[in-house]
A and B are shown apart, each in its own frame.
Chain A
Amino acid sequence: MKRRFMIMLSILAMVLAACGTTAEETTTTTAAPDGSTETTAPSTDGDGDGGAQTGGDLLDTILARGELNCGANETLPGFGSKDEAGNFVGFDVDLCRALAAAMFGDADAVRYEALTAAARFEAVNSGLVDILSRNTTWTQSRDTELGLDFGPTTYYDGQQMMGRASDGFGTDSSLADIDGAIVCTNAGTTTELNMSEAAAALGISITLNTFEDFNIVTENFKAGACDVVTTDGSSLVSRKAIDPDGGDWVIFPSVPFSKEPLGPAWAQNNSRFGDLVTWTVFAMQLAEEHGVTSANVDEMLANPPNGEIARLLGGEGELQTVMGLPADAFYQVISQVGNYAEIFDRHLRPFGLERGLNALYADGGLQYPMPAR
């Protein structure tokens, strides 16, 4: 009988060992790396010894890891989707690329995580992704109760409706005209909440159907299962532009009935990482303001026209190194990813989106980068 108990003992030893690892990871985090290779790959066997890094800011964790975990959208062409080669592309995706370029000098040092609207906040809170760059609206409760911090708004959007001209909708239609309709939108988004609130305020009765993916919403709209769809104006414009049936569709009301400031978000209390995100966005906008593009950035670096560009591109001053980044961080951003106007034109203009509110302040828009000094 004794052997059996010995086997049981061994099982016990393994259980204890399992406890040991957890305890060890939490208490001896500052111990020297135990000879394991610090690599950039996602490890596939779940070994725990690679991740023991100094606790503290997310930025240190990411720098030590060597790549950025980016929560992206794969179902919103223009902002985030996958091409036929399986790569993520889009406006929001380029922000992650810019961050990676700033931190590592390599815009491809990103591991993307496709997130649905409903799953995105759990992914940030559980540490699955470092940053959420998937058309997320900045709201009070998300900023406070959900434990997130938001960066500068990269795209000012607003919620609108889309109906069929054949149903009598025109660009001058108002929200009151959708009384009695089946309205469809994405699940787990602010648009869902805005719509119920707007309907309640107007005293109209609607049925709100939600789907995980805006493509399914559009398919249902095309089939007639949804009378009206609602979401951020940008999505509506892009769908209308690329869909063969788009000619019959009308977007209304002309002034959006909600504010949807879309921007990056990350787990709160990581202020150094937050600084990085904020200033990367500003750097891209400053570059646009001063006419620095990926094409002429080398020339600009060689003989900067003014001090701000020089500081931004790392030619003089220590603004970037103080943040814990290489001095040429933003030079890399501009040269590998481009300035704000470039990524806008690359991803959003093909879908018929105009700068509008997202023009720089000098052109009458809301994008106002803070000075680099």
Chain B
Amino acid sequence: MATDTRISRPPERKPPLWRNVTVLKWAAQLVVLAGLIALVVILGLQAAGNLQAQGRSFGWGFLSRPAGIQIGEGIFTRPANGFQVIQTGAVNMLRITVSGILAASVLGVIVGVSRLSANWLLNRLATVYIEILRNIPLLVQIVFWFFVASLTFPNVSADQEGTQWLVISNKGVSIPWFFPTETFWQWSVFVIAGLIAARLVYRARIRRLEETGADTYPGRYAFLTFSGVVVAGWFLHPVAGAVGWVWQLLASIVSAVPTLAWQLALAAAAVYLAVRWIRRFLDSLRSPAGLAKLTDDDWFRIGLAGAVGVVAAAALVFIPTLTASVVDLVDFVLRFLDQKFDFLRTGSPLRFARPDVVVPGRFPQIGTSGMTMTPAFFGVWIGVTLYTAAFIAEVVRGGVLAVPKGQTEAGLALGLRRSQLLRMIILPQAFRIILPPIGNQYLNLAKNTSLGIAVAYPEIVAVGQTLANQTGQAMQTFLIWIVFYLIVSLVLSGIVNRYNRRLALVER
């Protein structure tokens, strides 16, 4: 077949503009975008008009004005201004989120594994738990638990006055707790150091194990190292006061460098990040045959990344307050840390305290000594914990079942006990499968704390609602909510994704 390999090409003829696919695509997109922008502008103008007609104004002054409200619990129970109200709500929300995530993870794993247990009773109980809790709206559960706590728990009585081990009452549940003292920060340096040291030891022992095949007990070694450092830190923590100098030095450097330099540096960083993103993106398109032809979509991504970088850099350069606020924040954090370290500070870093009952007036109350949950906190916390745990349990069960049966059999053949099998073979493998869905559950938990409003738990939605009601600034409150929850969601999913990637790398 000796034909001419050159195919005679028709002369390149571009289609007319109105039939050019790329042109039409972009025209449609730009028109939709313009339409959306127009819609937003029209709605915004209408809102401004409405506000004006009602003699109201849109502004953020309410954040700095006195709010005149009192909050049931939190860092500022008598907030001086609107911003402190929001802060209190945010911290209350985070309290439930963090403690709820910890509790729900533990409970969820226990229930999930119980569902696979050979023990009939345990298995059935876990199933009943999951089927009941999962199928009732969380709001109903939270309200229910709140009423259980506030209406059915016993009263605090005056005979209980004094220190107790545990107070369960309709005014709150109080438990013993370890509270950080002023030397806690110094000690925490040792805790971090201990973690690093333990990690190094663990790696070393593992390497040893891989080289020699001898049992090197990496886990035990790591644990002993960690405990050693932490226990030593308990007594030696004033030494860590030296870290304070480091913060001081850094702070003085930060404030010594002129703002202009920071502006330029941050702008350069923005541009660098954009360039790095684009290079990585191009690298991902590069195949052995060379760079793939870029579609208009790819060009758009590159253009967008570049534009974001350039705009950010321009904003940093031309709006000095932007940089100044970043610098101020860093400076504030450094000075805050500096205050926490001092050679002269001694004493144990944690203080153990038991709850107490006091009678300040004619009413017995739970004192401030222990760790106290109000009925509202209890309702929201137990509600989100039990509810999320039911979902986590299902995820864990699915993950465990997804581990190939051969792994179990191999483990049993090696003579592992069931508990060992679970701990050493199955859960580590299941963990990789269950992490992404569990991350979703954590996000749901964080969002579900907003139901605290139903039992007047002062989290950010509830306090925002009160604030909006007192000041008439509802739109701003809505914006604050959205931004706050988006940040929380981003941070949480960032953490989960990070672990996810690290686990995924282990996969072979």
Interface on A for B, CB 8 Å cutoff? 1-2, 5, 8-9, 11-12, 15-16, 18-19, 22-23, 26, 117-122, 125-126, 141, 145-147, 167-168, 177-182, 187-188, 192-193, 195-196, 204-205, 207-212, 219-220, 223-225, 227, 267-269
The smallest C-beta distance from B194 to any residue of chain A, in angstroms, reads 40
Q: List 25 A-B contacts (CB under 8 A).
A: A1-B21, A1-B24, A2-B21, A5-B28, A9-B28, A12-B32, A19-B38, A22-B39, A118-B466, A122-B474, A126-B474, A146-B56, A147-B54, A147-B56, A167-B362, A179-B362, A181-B363, A182-B365, A188-B465, A196-B78, A207-B72, A219-B150, A220-B151, A220-B170, A223-B152
B470 within 8 A of A: yes
The smallest C-beta distance from A212 to any residue of chain B, in angstroms, reads 6
Known contacts A9-B28, A122-B468, then 13 further A-B pairs from the complex at CB < 8 Å, ordered by chain A residue: A5-B21, A22-B39, A118-B465, A122-B469, A125-B56, A141-B470, A146-B472, A147-B55, A204-B361, A224-B170, A225-B153, A227-B363, A269-B53
On whether A225 and B361 interact (CB within 8 A), knowing A12-B31, A145-B472, A211-B456, the answer reads no
B471 within 8 A of A: yes
The smallest C-beta distance from A209 to any residue of chain B, in angstroms, reads 5
- Alpha-carbon distance between A306 and B180 when the two chains are bound, in angstroms: 80
B25 within 8 A of A: yes
B35 within 8 A of A: yes
The smallest C-beta distance from A173 to any residue of chain B, in angstroms, reads 10
- B170 and A223: CB pair below 8 A? yes
B407 within 8 A of A: no
Residues of B within 8 A of A (CB-CB), count: 51
Interface on B for A, CB 8 Å cutoff? 19, 21, 24-25, 28-29, 31-32, 35-36, 38-39, 42-43, 46, 53-56, 68-70, 72, 78, 147, 150-153, 155, 170-171, 359-363, 365, 374-376, 454, 456, 465-466, 468-472, 474
The answer, among A18, A180, A187, for a CB contact under 8 Å with B39, is A18
- Alpha-carbon distance between A225 and B72 when the two chains are bound, in angstroms: 13
- Alpha-carbon distance between A8 and B25 when the two chains are bound, in angstroms: 9
- Report whether over half of chain A's contact residues are helix, strand or loop; otherwise say mixed: helix
The smallest C-beta distance from B46 to any residue of chain A, in angstroms, reads 6
On whether A181 and B361 interact (CB within 8 A), knowing A196-B70, A269-B53, the answer reads yes
* Chain A positions within 8 Å of B32 at CB level: 8, 11-12, 15
- A208 and B24: CB pair below 8 A? no
- A187 and B474: CB pair below 8 A? no
- A178 and B472: CB pair below 8 A? no
- A147 and B150: CB pair below 8 A? no
The smallest C-beta distance from B225 to any residue of chain A, in angstroms, reads 46
- B39 and A8: CB pair below 8 A? no
* Chain A positions within 8 Å of B361 at CB level: 177-181, 204
- B362 and A177: CB pair below 8 A? yes
- Alpha-carbon distance between A187 and B461 when the two chains are bound, in angstroms: 13
The residue in A15, A224, A267 that gathers the most chain B C-beta atoms within 10 A of its C-beta is A224
- Alpha-carbon distance between A141 and B469 when the two chains are bound, in angstroms: 11
On whether A15 and B35 interact (CB within 8 A), knowing A122-B474, A180-B360, the answer reads yes
- A12 and B472: CB pair below 8 A? no
